[in-house]
Amino acid sequence: MDKSQVTNKPNSLIDSEDRILESVPYMQRLRDYYLALGYGNPYQWASYSEVPFATLTKPLSESKIGLITTAAPYKEGAGDQGPKAPYNAAAKFYKVYSGNTDQVDFLGISHVGYDRKYSTAEDINSFFPLEALKRAERQGRVGQLSARYYGAPTNRSQATTIKQDCSDLLDLLRQDDVDVVVLVPN
């Protein structure tokens, strides 16, 4: 039987041994979580009928690339933040930051929800593809990697993200003359 066969049960697939495999209903969980926090209405995802993307004005091989991540720099006194760390809200950050692409001391994802049963965050390249971008630069696939990478907070409202964080990120990207951005949400 084909693994992609859909069952009559939402969020489910049937595997080759006729077992029902269920995906995590994270969107419904998030809606329920917001209601439980007392917001009075479920979480509303951002939706844009007109996406503000722009076409490239020059080839990627001639463009300066910026990397935006939601991974967090190490936060002194915030507990376990390394690979295999349990969820750690204390490791969250609240302001846009930047770091040197030549030296990354520590970035972690203990402050975000991810599948800790099957992922360990031991390989930084799985959530922060800086080495892949450096390799693409060496191979001439991209023109140049920005001297800085950029960090975007994940614990904000859509309004704060758009009005404050995106504005701060755009300022940094413009300072660095970045042409193209790779956004890696964790």
Phi, psi angle pair for 7, to nearest 5°: -95, 180
* Entry field: residues in the chain: 186
Q: Supply the pTM of this predicted model.
A: 0.76
Is the CB of residue 42 less than 8 Å from the CB of residue 125? no
Strand partners, 49: none
Count how many Cα atoms sit within 13 Å of the Cα of residue 25 in the half-sphere of its side chain.
10
Q: Which of 12-16, 49-53, 60-64, 92-96 has the highest mean pLDDT?
A: 60-64
Q: How far is CA 143 from the centre of its chain?
A: 23
- Let me know if 130 is exposed, middle or buried by CB neighbors in 10 A (0-12, 13-18, 19+): buried
Domain ranges of the chain: 1-47, 60-184
- Let me know if 89 is exposed, middle or buried by CB neighbors in 10 A (0-12, 13-18, 19+): exposed
Each residue's pLDDT tens digit, 68-127: 999 999 999 999 998 888 888 899 999 999 999 998 888 888 888 777 777 778 888 888
Contacts of 74 (CB under 8 A, 6+ apart): 81, 105, 106, 108
Give the model's confidence band at 150: pLDDT under 50 very low, under 70 low, under 90 confident, else very high.
Answer: very high
Alpha-carbon distances, residue 101 vs 34, 49, 70, 164 (angstroms): 37, 34, 15, 24
